[in-house]
Chain A
Amino acid sequence: MGINELDLKQDPACSEKGLSNYLWRDHPDENKWADCVHCGMCLESCPTYEQTGQEQHSPRGRVHLIKSVAEGKLEVNEFFSDPVFACLDCRACTTACPANVDVGGLIEEARGQIRQAMPLKGWQGAVSKFVLKGIFPHPNRLNAAGSLLKFYQKSGMQKAVRQTGLIKIMPDHLVQMEAVMPEVQEPVRKKYKNEQVLKAKGKSKAEVALLTGCVMDVMFSDINEATINVLRRNGNDVIIPQNQTCCGALHVHAGDRETGRMLAKQNIEAFRDADKVIVNAAGCGCMLKEYSELFREEPEMHDKAVEFSKKVEDISKYLHETGYEKPKGEIKTRITYHDACHLAHGQNVRQEPRDILQDIPGVEMVHMPNSDRCCGSAGIYNITNPEMADAVLESKMQNVPGDVEMISMGNPGCMLQMAMGVQKYGRNQKIVHTVQLLDWAYQKEDGKERV
């Protein structure tokens, strides 16, 4: 067979059938896969390809499948769903890709189609509906869940569950997670409900709004507290809009784009008057910056979302850009830094947190090889795909230097996952958020001991 008769009877590289097997609105964006030339530069960046060696579990393989559905070669069924939902959505491929193919965006769009074509049934459906729709979007219910957890931790029930062996009937990964749950404190949104503005210490140079996040404020309100302290100390008035809600990242990752849109609209409205929206959770920050992706078919909302995205900034980048006081309090520790995927790959924030850490007297930074490799947390991936998440975590932990005392990062999901890793592999590092450490150094400078 000569090159001139090359078998073009087979479907050509891209057919003209349009988006044949995508039946719902908001389908995957043809222009996103048109950028992919199948070169394979993404392969080694992908944690699931590293684990399986199978190309349907690689970025270019997934893009190929997503395109194949549009070409009518593949249907939206379980064989399509498996590779698409096995993706960690870590975006490492976006960094590796020479042509900037937005694989993460395609994956999320494809998940939207899958969830409409084949809604989750049975207990998975019920749990997903209960948690994603019934709890996350409602701050009061989330606080209530937090209170329950607090009750569980404080009342002796946690101890009882652990001692009675009741814990043995929980699935392994939930047991591991239970063990590293931080102690629940009062959410800052509730705490500062009656304060319109938290005034800057000293002269104020700017006013910023804080996204308190849903899980963040319930499980890690101390990090929100630290974020507020650090912002105020550096001349920022902080406001906490009360009508803000969950960012919607977990919903969009799970294919529930409709709820994602609803939450996005509410947040865009809630932060309407803010000049800057400060985020201390990488996953949330990335989602906020990508709200416009949810409104590709609603031009007016799309424009609003684009404008909104420009106001969003990660705390470390904001501090780095607007300047911060170098702390004088010394924290003598050896520390390594883990790049949260949605900071490094999602928002290209890499150097800023490291610079902040290095400005703390006494901190000795130790390099972590492959620091921007996913830890396996990936939103709720460690709950939905525990086996793969474990394998990815194991590979991550092998890269954590043995002789450090702390691992710093900028995302709550990673913090829980890395804490599980530390426990599971018999390590003894403390997991901290970058701004937490900065706040401690300030406190120490002021004579308040902690750590």
Chain B
Amino acid sequence: MAFKKVKSSDRHINQLARIVGGSSSILYRKEDLLAYDCDGFTIHKALPKAVVFPKNTIEVSEVVRYCHEHNLPFLARGAGTGLSGGAIPLNEEVIISMVRMKRLLSVDLENRRAVVEPGFVNLKLTNSISDRGYYYAPDPSSQYCCTIGGNVAENAGGAHCLKYGVTTNHILGLEVVMPNGEVIEIGKNGIPDEPGYDLLGLITGSEGTLGIVTKITVRILKNPEAKQTVLAYFNHVSDGSQAVSDIVSAGIVPAALEMMDKVAIEGVEAAAYPVGHPKDIEAVLLIEVDGISAGIDEQIRQILDVCRNRNVKEVKVARDEAERGRWWANRKTGFGAMGAISPDYLVQDGVIPRSKLPEVLSRINQISNESGLRIANIFHAGDGNLHPLVLFDARKPGETQKALEAGSACLKVCADVGGTITGEHGVGIEKKEEMRFVFSDEEIKAQTDIREVFNPKNLLNAGKLFPAPGRCAEVKKEIKAAASS
């Protein structure tokens, strides 16, 4: 596209436009910014100052340097599918959209790694290498559209993380633009476990508060030789969750072990990818095993036995790839499917010890009754990552607040039974306060101290991940007061 100069009354806009290449690479009119007032977390909305679309690392670095020098708040955004509000501009940020940096830079099958730009869509990586027998393992449900850059920011998980680990286990190297515009490389040669501090681990999952990732070296895996998928229906949640525990205790490590409850089933069956789950059951399990062919049948036999011992109502093995695909599409579109039975939803992301599932579900049920809001549960049962989906209608006065409170109460339950408040969606705006369920003020302070090393001006994605320091300061005062008395 031809370079077209921007003439705004705001000199910052003109300068930013100059850096990224003119009017086709910047949005700054209010009407154009509206589509950027939230991400997948829609409860909180705020307009950015501008959205810029850099094409390469140099442009990202120059934009960041400009913002740093002129004290303009800024943040990075990928596909905006995040569920905790990490890409929402709370402070009238300049949004740096990474979606035009979407190339697959190289594939190195011999060393099982690939280099991508941050705007490259997760599933496209697998699609680009599957004909050669390889794939990229982390598979968040939004993998059809979410970017790998966003996955790094949130340390995204997915259904198959039970066996293969979350994003951080698949990152070999990063190029990062620091909050002052400096460009650094971590894990340069894509060699895992470099000596020194694990900076890759620190950046991965930092929710866009420590730097902006501009190039990512990921691990790719060989397709498993064989794969089998089982669907099991249970009349009681307790039987379903016992079956989950039994499968793991039997020494089987499934690739995925998913559960949905009755309300979730109602949602997915009313939506675009129904597969005919019965309406009268309390729980469905989706179990997948993969690996070398030898032994797969034996594992399936064991899984079927476990299910039968736990009073399974019906259990079946996917007949072919097409059926398997339908089962997974039904599960992976589960969140969006809630739109079919509710105008709005709020998804939570608690982690609990597997054994506590029946107890937690019954307490969530209680929360649902008390709040008068329906709650669906979609659960990465194998690794204890629970997603209660609070269904509400924002048009009804007070209901949004009620939903937030119900969501928070669900997380409290998770924390109380020895779990935590997020497994894979990040803290963002949504769960800032709930950080207090699992961290003391001192522990939070220790973490914001780390942020200060990287992001001393706190211009980059401020107001996310940690609760406001108000109480920390108070605590300090109290400590001082106690010490001086």
Cβ contacts A97-108/B at 8 Å (1 or 0 each):
111110000000
CB distance from B436 to the nearest CB of A (A): 10
Cβ contacts B73-115/A at 8 Å (1 or 0 each):
0000001110000000000000001011010000000000000
Known: A3-B434, A58-B35. A13 touches B333 (CB 8 A): no
Contact at B34–A40, with CB atoms within 8 Å?
no
Q: How far is the CA of A95 from the CA of B272 in the complex (A)?
A: 8
Q: Does A163 contact B (CB under 8 A)?
A: no
CB distance from B63 to the nearest CB of A (A): 15
Say which one of B140-148, B176-184, B353-361 lies at the interface with A: B140-148
Q: Which residues on B sit within 8 Å (CB–CB) of A13?
A: 42-43, 45, 344, 394, 400
CB distance from A12 to the nearest CB of B (A): 5
Q: Does B401 contact A (CB under 8 A)?
A: yes
CB distance from A41 to the nearest CB of B (A): 5
Q: Does A8 contact B (CB under 8 A)?
A: yes
Other-chain residue from A40, A77, A100 in contact with B272 (beta carbon distance below 8 A): A100
Q: Which residues on A sit within 8 Å (CB–CB) of B100?
A: 53
Nearest opposing residue in chain B for A61, CB measure: B35
Majority SS at the chain B contact face: loop
Interface-centre pick from A39, A80, A83, A95 (highest chain B CB count, 10 A): A39
Contact at A8–B31, with CB atoms within 8 Å?
no
CB distance from B288 to the nearest CB of A (A): 20
Other-chain residue from A68, A77, A99 in contact with B271 (beta carbon distance below 8 A): A99
Q: How far is the CA of A79 from the CA of B30 in the complex (A)?
A: 9
Other-chain residue from A37, A79, A97 in contact with B344 (beta carbon distance below 8 A): A37
Q: Which residues on A sit within 8 Å (CB–CB) of B335?
A: 37, 39, 98
Other-chain residue from B44, B121, B434 in contact with A7 (beta carbon distance below 8 A): B44
Q: How far is the CA of A96 from the CA of B332 in the complex (A)?
A: 12
In the complex, how many residues of chain A place their beta carbon closer than 8 angstroms to a beta carbon of chain B?
47
Other-chain residue from B27, B44, B333, B395 in contact with A54 (beta carbon distance below 8 A): B27
Contact at B32–A38, with CB atoms within 8 Å?
no
Q: Which residues on A sit within 8 Å (CB–CB) of B345?
A: 37
Other-chain residue from B44, B97, B142, B337 in contact with A99 (beta carbon distance below 8 A): B337
Contact at B336–A73, with CB atoms within 8 Å?
no
Contact at A96–B144, with CB atoms within 8 Å?
yes
Q: Does B199 contact A (CB under 8 A)?
A: no
Contact at A99–B340, with CB atoms within 8 Å?
yes
Q: Does A36 contact B (CB under 8 A)?
A: yes
Q: Does A363 contact B (CB under 8 A)?
A: no
Known: A40-B81, A99-B340. A6 touches B46 (CB 8 A): no
CB distance from A380 to the nearest CB of B (A): 23
Nearest opposing residue in chain B for A67, CB measure: B34
Q: Does B194 contact A (CB under 8 A)?
A: no
Contact at A79–B31, with CB atoms within 8 Å?
yes
Other-chain residue from A79, A95, A99 in contact with B336 (beta carbon distance below 8 A): A99
Contact at A43–B433, with CB atoms within 8 Å?
no
Q: Does A55 contact B (CB under 8 A)?
A: yes
Nearest opposing residue in chain B for A6, CB measure: B44
Q: Which residues on A sit within 8 Å (CB–CB) of B6?
A: none
Interface-centre pick from B119, B397, B401 (highest chain A CB count, 10 A): B401
A1-33 residues with Cβ-Cβ distance < 8 A to B are 1-4, 6-8, 10-16
Cβ contacts B218-249/A at 8 Å (1 or 0 each):
00000000000000000000000000000000
Interface-centre pick from A3, A36, A44 (highest chain B CB count, 10 A): A3
Q: Does B53 contact A (CB under 8 A)?
A: yes
Majority SS at the chain A contact face: loop
Q: Which residues on B sit within 8 Å (CB–CB) of A68?
A: 34
Q: How far is the CA of A121 from the CA of B365 in the complex (A)?
A: 59
Contact at A98–B337, with CB atoms within 8 Å?
yes
Q: Does B339 contact A (CB under 8 A)?
A: yes
Cβ contacts B270-281/A at 8 Å (1 or 0 each):
011100000000
Known: A1-B468, A14-B343, A54-B27. A99 touches B35 (CB 8 A): no
Q: Does B210 contact A (CB under 8 A)?
A: no
CB distance from A198 to the nearest CB of B (A): 40
Q: Which residues on B sit within 8 Å (CB–CB) of A74?
A: 31, 34
Q: Does B467 contact A (CB under 8 A)?
A: yes
A277-319 residues with Cβ-Cβ distance < 8 A to B are none
Q: Does B338 contact A (CB under 8 A)?
A: yes
Other-chain residue from B29, B119, B273, B430 in contact with A3 (beta carbon distance below 8 A): B430
Nearest opposing residue in chain B for A42, CB measure: B145
Q: Does B408 contact A (CB under 8 A)?
A: yes
CB distance from B344 to the nearest CB of A (A): 6
Q: Does B416 contact A (CB under 8 A)?
A: no
Q: Does B289 contact A (CB under 8 A)?
A: no
Nearest opposing residue in chain A for B335, CB measure: A39
Q: Does B40 contact A (CB under 8 A)?
A: yes
Q: How far is the CA of A38 from the CA of B36 in the complex (A)?
A: 11
Contact at A56–B404, with CB atoms within 8 Å?
no
Q: Which residues on B sit within 8 Å (CB–CB) of A15?
A: 395
Q: How far is the CA of A319 from the CA of B145 in the complex (A)?
A: 36
Contact at B340–A100, with CB atoms within 8 Å?
yes
Contact at B42–A10, with CB atoms within 8 Å?
no
CB distance from A146 to the nearest CB of B (A): 38
Known: A7-B44, A13-B344, A68-B34. A99 touches B272 (CB 8 A): yes
Q: Which residues on A sit within 8 Å (CB–CB) of B394?
A: 12-14
Contact at B144–A41, with CB atoms within 8 Å?
yes
Known: A37-B335, A68-B34, A101-B339. 7 other contacts (CB 8 A): A8-B401, A34-B343, A37-B339, A39-B40, A39-B339, A74-B31, A99-B339
Partner-A contacts on B (CB < 8 A): 27, 29, 31-32, 34-36, 38-40, 42-46, 51, 53, 79-81, 97, 99-100, 102, 119, 121, 142, 144-146, 271-273, 333-340, 343-345, 394-395, 397, 400-401, 404-405, 408, 429-434, 463, 467-468
Partner-B contacts on A (CB < 8 A): 1-4, 6-8, 10-16, 34-44, 53-56, 58, 61, 64-65, 68, 73-74, 77, 79-80, 83, 95-101
Leading 3 A-B pairs by shortest Cβ distance: A99-B339, A98-B336, A79-B31
A-B contact pairs, 10 of them (CB 8 A): A3-B432, A37-B339, A37-B344, A53-B99, A53-B100, A65-B35, A80-B31, A95-B272, A99-B271, A99-B336
